[in-house]
Amino acid sequence: MYRYLFSPITINRLEIKNRIAYPSLGLLFSYDSKLNDRYTHFFRERAKGGAGIVTVGPVGVDFLGSGILALSIARDEAIPDFTKVTGIIKEEGARAWIQLFHAGAYSHPFLIDGKDPIAPSAVYSKYAKTTPREMTIEDIHQVQEAFAAAARRAVVAGFDGVEIIGSAGYLITQFLSPLKNHRTDQYGGSFENRLRFPTELIAKVRDAVGPDVPLTIRMAGNDFVPGSNTDTDTPKIAAAYQAAGVDAINVTGGWHESRVPQLPMELPRTAYAFLARNIKNAVTVPVMASNRIASPDDAERILRDGYADMVNLGRVLIADPQWPVKAFEGRTSEIRPCVACSQGCTDEIFSGRPVFCVGNPRAGFEAERKIIPTDSPKRIMVVGAGAAGLEAAVTAAERGHRVEIFEKDSDLGGQLWIAGAPPHKRELLEFIRYYRAMVNRCQIPLHLNTTVDINLIREKAPGHVIVAEGARALIPPIPGADSPEVLNAWQVLKDNPMLGKRVAIIGGGAVGLETALFVAAKGTLTPEVLHFLMAYDAMPPERLKALMFAGTSSVTVFEMLDKAGKDVGKSTRWILMDRLNRYGVTIKTGTRVLSIDNGKITWEQDGENRSDRFDTVILASGSLSEQRLAKAMADAGIPHTVVGDGIKPGKLNDAIHGGFLAALGL
């Protein structure tokens, strides 16, 4: 079905069985730079799922470049552990790749025993919040030798291919960038001089591994940093890399410090494939595309339409390692989605914690969270078809229990519909697609429009009940908040009612801010209309840009705390705040709303009372657990398990992981 995706490709002389590569992703499964069982189970599962290449990385080549957190192959003693992992990847039918890593100025002193990070020049790094030491010529040669020695060890450990990281703002990118490289010697200044460090490095690694070992490099197709390399420079860089000896080029976009997002769901699917295509025009070796290639259709299109020769599936294979197998078998609707929420991966790793996956409770827990068939199948009643109930139902059914789902609404999905309503959050609706497919596949009877009470439970007499009642919007104790003309965020996101010109939102947490975006985006130019107007030069670009953010309502958010969006993930908060700013949303922090009276809001700020009039007032003040059935069951002494928001309002991963674990415990 996916003819191009599942055709083999040759890199150097090595045949790869398909066009799917799992790229390097820091997982932080250890704090001693060593591989452990958690890593090996993780990689086994990715290889088993059918990817052609599985990359182990990032792997440091010396201490200053990777410190205590990344894996390291800086010493021979590391070889046996890496040999074990390559054995596993190859045993499962994939080619084993390693990504060799040096952070340069992106290293942090606290990760390298308080030493200074090294870089081409002593330019302050906003990302690491420190100024690195300028590398001497001796340092330069040492780092190049360290890459070569690491690559040699990697080949001894059985890796089929070696990738050098030349992307994301790390050491090689720093040498290439006039922003970071202010050297006046042979490694700085002209384009040729800035290229010298990476091309010499490639040549040394090539020498170390010999002519037949596939050697690849990852590069940004555009640094997306003003003053740094753009897509007019990168094809020349790629051509120089090929001339220096690489066998394939892996193209991503941006640096860690770019103000253009690279990972979250705001980034449209396949958005950076055009960068790969741009590189492909300049080289003859295979090119890989990257970033948000979510569905098999997307991947096939990238290959078929000539954007790239291979696709990287990063978080997508964390969310579902079986993606390749399911695509091959035509079971695409059963692929667990990566919704690019960044909560379990990027946010965790930037907080120094191991990666997990919101949508896949097994990721990183492959050994301990196995779906083992039950030897005592029970009749299970699941009440509530939100994420928690659905995950519990599907997992229980996969274990061999006989499950039925009961849902009071007319469709499954619960709060997922609300969460997926704001602009750029539509990806969350992919969970609905997935659970619908799985409910079908597991042949789970789904009783919609059915409110469950104790009588129904007694009548059905199931072996166990999973109660996933969810939550409801909370009305805060503000005079006037309960009057009928005051809306709440859930109603607005779900029913999309007509709103007034001046809209106030009370509560500036994640829900309040996303509701603000939802409201502010109403009446703006749609992407299609923008494309049309741009294509015909119908209006000046600046005017079109203004119309992209000029909606029909003005929005003001009232937040009690000193900072809005405190509950938004680290890696995505800046994007949300940036968007709100572009849409002209006013955020009043440190405000306590005292009353709502016919659209007149009175609030206290800095000891003063003020008021203003709004056409629509929307509450976004959190939620309350629904516990009607759970309480009735507890009173009646009927055994049951509560999952999801019914325990306490939480995040999507609490719902999905909680539902999953409850089903494992049955």
Ligand X SMILES: Cc1cc2nc3c(=O)[nH]c(=O)nc-3n(C[C@H](O)[C@H](O)[C@H](O)COP(=O)(O)O)c2cc1C
With CB under 6 A, what is the number of residues at the site for ligand X? 26
Q: Is 26 in the site for ligand X (CB under 6 A)?
A: yes
Strand partners of residue 22 = 54
Least distance between ligand X and beta carbon 340 (Å): 6
Judged by CB, which is closer to ligand X: 254, or 386? 254
Instruction: List, in order, residues 6 or more apart from 199 with CB less than 8 Å away.
Output: 240, 241, 243, 244
Which residue from 18, 121, 125, 252 is in contact with ligand X, where contact means CB under 6 A? 252
Q: Is 98 in the site for ligand X (CB under 6 A)?
A: no
Q: Residue with CB nearest ligand X? A: 314
Site string for ligand X, 299-328 (x = CB under 6 A): -------------xxxxx------------
Judged by CB, which is closer to ligand X: 316, or 633? 316
Judged by CB, which is closer to ligand X: 314, or 551? 314
The two three-digit tokens of residue 498, written as one number: 């007509």
User: What is the 8-class DSSP label of residue 190?
Assistant: S
Least distance between ligand X and beta carbon 566 (Å): 22
User: What is the 8-class DSSP label of residue 130?
Assistant: B
Judged by CB, which is closer to ligand X: 288, or 405? 288
H or E stretch covering 506: strand 502-506
Tokens 């040999």 -> residue:
83
Judged by CB, which is closer to ligand X: 345, or 643? 345
Q: Is 25 in the site for ligand X (CB under 6 A)?
A: yes
The two three-digit tokens of residue 357, written as one number: 């996956």
Least distance between ligand X and beta carbon 427 (Å): 11
Q: What is the distance between the alpha carbons of residues 80 and 215, in angstroms, rounded to a whole number? A: 22
The two three-digit tokens of residue 157, written as one number: 């450990």
Backbone angles phi, psi at 529, to 5 degrees: -65, -40
Least distance between ligand X and beta carbon 350 (Å): 8
Judged by CB, which is closer to ligand X: 341, or 394? 341
- Residue 279 near residue 217, CB atoms below 8 Å: no
Q: Is 24 in the site for ligand X (CB under 6 A)?
A: yes
- Residue 649 near residue 626, CB atoms below 8 Å: no
Tokens 């066998």 -> residue:
247
Judged by CB, which is closer to ligand X: 68, or 474? 68
Considering only residues 163 through 182, tell me which ones interact with ligand X, judged by CB under 6 A: 165, 167-168
Least distance between ligand X and beta carbon 327 (Å): 14
Cis before 58? omega within 30: yes
Judged by CB, which is closer to ligand X: 50, or 389? 50
The two three-digit tokens of residue 620, written as one number: 């976004």
Judged by CB, which is closer to ligand X: 352, or 584? 352
Which residue from 49, 52, 58, 254 is in contact with ligand X, where contact means CB under 6 A? 58
Which residue from 229, 242, 290, 322 is in contact with ligand X, where contact means CB under 6 A? 290
Q: Classify 349 in phi/psi space as left (phi over 0), alpha (psi -120 to 50) or beta.
A: alpha
Considering only residues 327 through 366, tell me which ones interact with ligand X, judged by CB under 6 A: 345-346, 349, 355
DSSP string of 332-345? GGGSPPP----TTT
Strand partners of residue 600 = 597, 613
Q: What is the distance between the alpha carbons of residues 238 and 257, in angstroms, rounded to a whole number? A: 22
Distances in whole angstroms, Cα of residue 475 to Cα of each of 5, 332, 507 = 51, 41, 11
**Residue ranges in contact with ligand X by CB under 6 A:** 23-26, 57-58, 99, 165, 167-168, 218, 252, 263, 290-293, 312-316, 345-346, 349, 355
